[in-house]
Each structure stands twice: as structure tokens, then as C-alpha cells.
Structure 1
Amino acid sequence: MKTAIISDTHGLLRPEALAVLEGSDLIIHAGDIGAPEILSQLAAIAPLHAVRGNNDLDLPWAAALPDHLSFDLNGWPTLLTHDIADVPALLTSAIKLVITGHSHKPLIEWRENCLYLNPGSAGRRRFKLPVTLALLDASRTALEPELIHLLP
């Protein structure tokens, strides 16, 4: 199952990101979306899970989006929230995949038997941080994440 994970678009969905997202079975947006059109464009490519980020809180169109979401990703219990600081209060031992955004810093890290994944920021470059998203191959027996750099 090809899952594309994107975050911190802040109203900018780059053509480079769209090219990578094509052919995804599922797209996950980890918040700071920035504009409702971003969600429409993503949902036109594949089914979509999204949470709002701190920059989406005061935007009327984002009021219906959850702050966190728990779901099953091909047999992997998953927690999606924008800020990793919110994870401890939401985490249970059943969760095997934690997806966050917010920091604009990509992270792929196993912590015991749980994968923590932050795809970084796919929107406007912040400081000297990379512009990235992540692809995740979620089979029944393994999670195989890959960080994709969108700009040199």
C-alpha cells in the first residue's frame, strides 16, 4: 500500500509534490494545510486523512478537521497529530505508527516497536531546512518509509 505523507504546506502545493503523490493509495496530511484547495487537490488523487495544524486553528474552513486522528493503516494502528508534543497524552501501547508535522524537520525513527514519522515541510522553505515529503510502503508485515526531497 503506497501511502504519501505530507505536512506544512502552508497554502503551497508544489508541482514536484503533486508528481510524487500521483499513484498513491492514500494521502495523509499532518497539518498546517493553509488553504482548503490543498485538501481538494489531494483528495482528487487518493483518499485523504488530514488534521489541522496550529496555523489552521483560526481558519473557518479548517474547523471541521480534527486535531488528531487514530486509524488503521493496512493493519498498523496509527496516530496522526500535528505537533509531536501532543503525542504522549494520546499514545497507547497499541499504536505502531505516529505521524506528526509542525517542526518542518523530517524524522524517521523507530522507538521500540513504534515508527515515528515526520515528513518535514512540503511548502515554503523555512530557514535552511529541506523541502520534503515521505512515502510509506505499509505491507501487512513491515513499514518501509522513504523521505523524498522535492528541491535540491
Structure 2
Amino acid sequence: MLRIGVISDTHGLLRPEALDFLAGSDFIVHGGDIGNAGILSRLAAIAPLTVVRGNNDKGDWAAAVPASAVLEVGGMRLYALHDIADLDAAALPADVKVLVYGHSHRPLAEQRGPVLYLNPGSAGPRRFSLPITAAEVLVDAGQAKASIALLIPRG
């Protein structure tokens, strides 16, 4: 079984709780609004990193970050982009099993037909009363299961 740690909307803040949660991941996916290149290097030190650029990712470091990315692992394909409103569902490869996105800061793991839609929420600065979360995808024999983890209790 493979574990993919999924994080998004760090906005320049990589909390120790997020690092602890991601430790032991076989792969990491960041759903955008990263904040700075230092976050990418810290995540890449944990596991192979797939990352997409968010609407707040600006500057030279962000120019090299793609708007969407594909991770093929464990017999399944994961597609990532930052804002689900930018998704052209007709262009989504038919064999995608997991769709990772961020932007809204609202965590969601929902099976829609053959595709698991996963927004890990925000692991960065708290926005309004939304929780501080990340997610994991467990991949076994080409099948994916996701869960959301509360990193910091509301308070």
C-alpha cells in the first residue's frame, strides 16, 4: 500500500503539524497557493513532490510550477490543479481516479462516479472559521481511498 500525503493552501506557512502528518508519505501532492519556494524544498525532502501553482503563487519561483499535474502511482492516475472552477471535465483523462484541488480552503473527499474528488483544505493560515487540515490517499492495487486529517483543533 502506498500513502500520498496531500496538502494545499499553505500560503507561506508550513506548520510543524503538517510536517508531522506528511512524514512517512511515499509521495506528496500540493494543491497550490504554496507561498514560496522554501515550502517546496521542505516538502521534497520528505517524499517525491507533485505540485501545482495557485492563484496567489507569483514571482520567478512560481513561474516554473505548472497549473496542473499528473501523478501516476500504484496503478492509478491522480490529476491536480488549484481551482476546480478551472477544470475542463471533458479534457480530464478517462483513467484519472483521483482529482486533487485546493483554493476554497474547504476540505472534501467525495466519490463522484469513477473519480474521487479531494480538497485537503488549508494547512496554512486559518481563514474565517475553516479548519486547518491535510489529507492522505491510500493506494492499493490501483484503488484509492482518501481521508481528511484535522491538524489543529478549532479554537
Q: Cα distance, 1:93 vs. partner?
A: 2.2
Higher mean displacement: 83-92 or 4-13 = 83-92
Q: Are 1:81 and 2:88 counterparts?
A: no
Q: Alignment length, in residue pairs?
A: 151
- Equivalence for 1:96: 97
Q: Are 1:70 and 2:70 counterparts?
A: yes
- Equivalence for 2:27: 26
Q: Cα distance, 1:141 vs. partner?
A: 4.2
TM-score by structure 1 length? 0.95
- Equivalence for 2:38: 37
CA contact (8 A) 2:136 2:148 kept: yes
CA contact (8 A) 2:50 2:71 kept: no
Q: Cα distance, 1:71 vs. partner?
A: 2.8
Q: Cα distance, 1:150 vs. partner?
A: 0.7
The list of structure 1 runs, each at least 4 consecutive aligned residues, that deviate by more than 4 angstroms after superposition, is: none
Identity between Structure 1 and Structure 2 (%): 52
Q: Which amino acid aligns with 2:5?
A: A
Q: Distance in 2 between the 1:81 and 1:69 partners?
A: 7
Q: Distance in 2 between the 1:43 and 1:94 partners?
A: 26
Q: Cα distance, 1:82 vs. partner?
A: 0.4
Deviations 1:88-137, CA, capped at 9 Å, x for gaps: 25423222210000000001011111100000000000000000000111
Q: Which amino acid aligns with 1:87?
A: L
Q: Is there any run of 5+ residues in structure 2 with no aligned partner, and where?
A: none
Q: Distance in 1 between the 2:44 and 2:54 partners?
A: 18
Q: Are 1:109 and 2:110 counterparts?
A: yes
Q: Cα distance, 1:20 vs. partner?
A: 0.8
Higher mean displacement: 114-123 or 79-88 = 79-88
Deviations 1:39-62, CA, capped at 9 Å, x for gaps: 010011111000110000x32111
TM-score by structure 2 length? 0.93
Q: Distance in 2 between the 1:136 and 1:94 partners?
A: 17
